[in-house]
Amino acid sequence: MSMTMACNTAQSSASTAVTVPSSPTSASPSPAAKGEQVAIFSGGCFWGVEAVFGHVKGVTDVTSGYSGGSKDTADYETVSGGKTGHAESVKIKFDPTIVTYPQLLEVFFSVAHDPTQLNYQGPDHGTQYRSAIFYTDDGQRQAALAFLEKMKQDKVYSAPIVTQVVPFEAFYDAESYHQDYMRHNPNEPYIVYNDAPKVAALKKKFPDRYVEK
């Protein structure tokens, strides 16, 4: 399968890149847990979400994959039909002594995607591109719900936020050609118009969290 089959490879104008809103300040982090932790987010095509979090200080690994459906349907050609229950997602491993879960949420909501777009992101349409947080424990669930409520109270977005907060069940790695896609294909039109602006926004909005890779 050609590497250009994923997401929607039609060019969009630079103006369609997600506008970075003024996001709420993260709550004071609780004492850091020992060891590595994992966050699972879905926010449209996994290429751009993976690229953004790959540049966040304290993130040790980011993997593109599928979450929300079954193992038997966890392949791109099946997921792209939009009827598997899967969402294109990213699994983020991070060191909580360097970057907290609320800080990852702040990046997710203000840089990585637009949480007001229901079942689409930019040129990509379908439930596989929905906005979702797959929480791994009650602490993550409470943090996500509190963050959503704070954004609503602060009226960060003029449109309703449609992000799902649902329990994590399983994550299935995407095919190898999807991994580190932006790094391997920096000049592809889809990347230039849709994903590079997100990484640039991360560097501008959170310079203290940004790392070159």
> Which residues form the catalytic set?
45
Beta strands 131-135 and 164-167 are parallel
Q: How far apart are CA 14 and CA 213, in angstroms?
A: 23
Report how far Cα 209 is from the mean position of its chain's Cα atoms. 16
Cα 131 to Cα 109: distance, rounded to the nearest angstrom: 10
DSSP-derived 3-state class of residue 65: strand
Tell me if residue 37 falls in helix, strand or coil.
strand
CA distance 138 to 133: 12
- C-beta of residue 15 within 8 angstroms of C-beta of residue 67: no
For residue 147, what is the enclosing H or E element? helix 138-154
β-strand partners of 43: 131
